[in-house]
Amino acid sequence: MKTALVTGGAGFIGSHIVDAYLERGWRVVVIDDLSTGERHNVDRRAELYVVDIRDAASIISEVQPDLVSHHAAQIDVRKSVADPAEDADINIVGSIRLLQACVAAHVKRFIFASSGGAGYGEPVFAPQTEEHPIRPLSPYGCAKVAVESYMTYFREVHGLSTVALRYANVYGPRQNTKGEAGVIAIFADRMLRGEPVTINGSGEQTRDFVFVRDVVAASMAVTEHPELKGAYNVGTGVETSINVLYDEMAKILGTPAAAIHAPAKAGEQMRSVLDGALLRNAGSLGHCVPLAEGLRETIDFFRRS
- Using H for helix, E for strand and C for coil, what is the string for the chain? CCEEEEECCCCHHHHHHHHHHHHCCCEEEEECCCCCCCHHHCCCCCEEECCCHHHCHHHHHHHCCCEEEECCCCCCHHHHHHCHHHHHHHHHHHHHHHHHHHHHCCCCEEEEEEEHHHHHCCCCCCCECCCCCCCCCCHHHHHHHHHHHHHHHHHHHHCCCEEEEEECEEECCCCCCCCCCCHHHHHHHHHHCCCCCEEECCCCCEECEEEHHHHHHHHHHHHHCCCCCEEEEECCCCCEEHHHHHHHHHHHHCCCCCCEEECCCCCCCCCCCECCHHHHHHCCCCCCCCHHHHHHHHHHHHHHC
Half-sphere exposure of 145 (CA within 13 A, CB side): 18
Residues forming beta bridges with residue 115, ordered by sequence position? 167
What span, in angstroms and rounded, lies between the C-alpha atoms of 19 and 208? Answer: 24
Is 246 annotated as catalytic? no
What span, in angstroms and rounded, lies between the C-alpha atoms of 295 and 187? Answer: 11
Q: Considering 140, 171, 232, 246, which one is annotated as catalytic?
A: 140
Nearest to 241 by CA among 278, 211, 203: 203
Catalytic residues: 140
